[in-house]
Amino acid sequence: MRKIRFLSAVLLLALALTTSGCGSRETKREEPSETNTMQTNDRKVAFVQKSMNTYFHRLLDASLRNDTQEAGWEFREAVADYDQTRQNQQMLNFCAGNPDVIVAASIDKDGINSAIEQINEKGVPVVLVDTESTGGQVSLTINFDNYKAGKMAAQEIVRLLTEKYGEPKGIVCHGYGSEESSAWKARKQGFEEEIGKYEEIRCISADLKGDPEEARSWLTGVLADGTQIDAVHCSSDHPARGLVQALKEAGMWKKTGEAGHIIFVTIDGDPFAGKQIRGGYYDGSVVQDALAYGDVLVQMLDGYIFSGKAVPVGEYALADTWFGTYEVQEDERGRHAVIPPYYMDRDNVEDGRHWYKKAEEQWGYAYNDSPDTETEN
């Protein structure tokens, strides 16, 4: 577990949190897929994951599981498979077991509210990871600055187009994720607001629904029309594999510096992105550190939430990461521990602090390059 050190904060009033469960709430209990046998201090952490169908989500899950178990706590989890009704019921089922905290990666930021509100009535703390809610009382949301990530990706493409033409101009294909996801929506907004500042840059956009095949089909159609594109941006590395496949099939998958190279910038910085950057095909990727979530969660639970304290606003250090520090901020929805984005390119891709290198080299989670499947050990 990485050590996290509090640097500066304004202490706020502690919140009194009880530990009663959700009583006789009905129904069949969701069986956890993982349970820790180490129970050195009897803490119980229940996690409801939105999905396990991407490498990123599996690594986020592994981060929470490994770090909580290393702390000696019992860890239970269930997977909702992008079904918000199911996720809400899983949260309530876990609440009936009297955990010390319920952690969830919300599917729909509005749809999860009813479950949070019912859990609030029983005094069990709720922490959200990756995505947020619009209602209920949440002790902390641990999320990525998706808007800034989209903005950074656009800035890098503008820089590369300016290098190519001497000014910011060209045609950019922008494949974004479903706007039903608040994270993908924020990435789209950040990218489009930044790229929209440049009148000579034309942006062709499409909702890829997070699907590599959808991505391949869309870009194949754009290229078939004879459109001479200069750059491609994908808001997630998972569907980006389909865009890579489309460029390969069109004979347009060229290395940086080669004639005909298409500028290629993504978000997430997973092992596929790392491989493509090392090979000279991707120009870069804006990184979301999947392994940071567990480290932040454990420190905040142990230091504040388990003892009924409000998490202080301020800056924290996170060792063994590229970004080094993150902030806990406050808005109308409460406290957010914000994991910052950073840019990975061929100048720093081999650095051991990148989460993709740790995932494969230290944690043993293998990645399959196929546009249709991903596997792990």
Q: What is the pTM of this model?
A: 0.84
Instruction: Give the DSSP H or E segment for 207.
Output: strand 201-207
What is the pLDDT, as a whole number, of residue 229? Answer: 98
Q: How confident is the model at residue 370 (pLDDT cuts 50, 70, 90)?
A: low
First to last CA, the chain: 21
- Quote the CA–CA distance of 191 and 341 in Å, as a whole number: 14
Q: What are the tens digits of pLDDT across the range 312-322?
A: 999 999 988 99
* Superfamily of the domain at 4-145+290-362: Response regulator (3.40.50.2300)
Is the predicted pLDDT of residue 6 greater than 70, yes or no?
Answer: no
* Extents of the domains making up the chain: 4-145+290-362, 146-287
Average pLDDT over residues 20-41: 38
- Quote the CA–CA distance of 300 and 125 in Å, as a whole number: 12
What is the pLDDT, as a whole number, of residue 32? Answer: 31
What is the pLDDT, as a whole number, of residue 34? Answer: 35
Average pLDDT over residues 245-264: 97
Is the predicted pLDDT of residue 21 greater than 90, yes or no?
Answer: no
The stretches of the chain forming alpha helices (DSSP H) are 55-70, 84-96, 113-121, 146-165, 182-195, 212-224, 237-249, 271-279, 292-303, 355-357
For the domain made up of 146-287, give the CATH fold: Rossmann fold (3.40.50)
Domains 4-145+290-362 and 146-287 are alike in CATH topology? yes
What is the pLDDT, as a whole number, of residue 131? Answer: 87
Is the predicted pLDDT of residue 62 greater than 80, yes or no?
Answer: yes
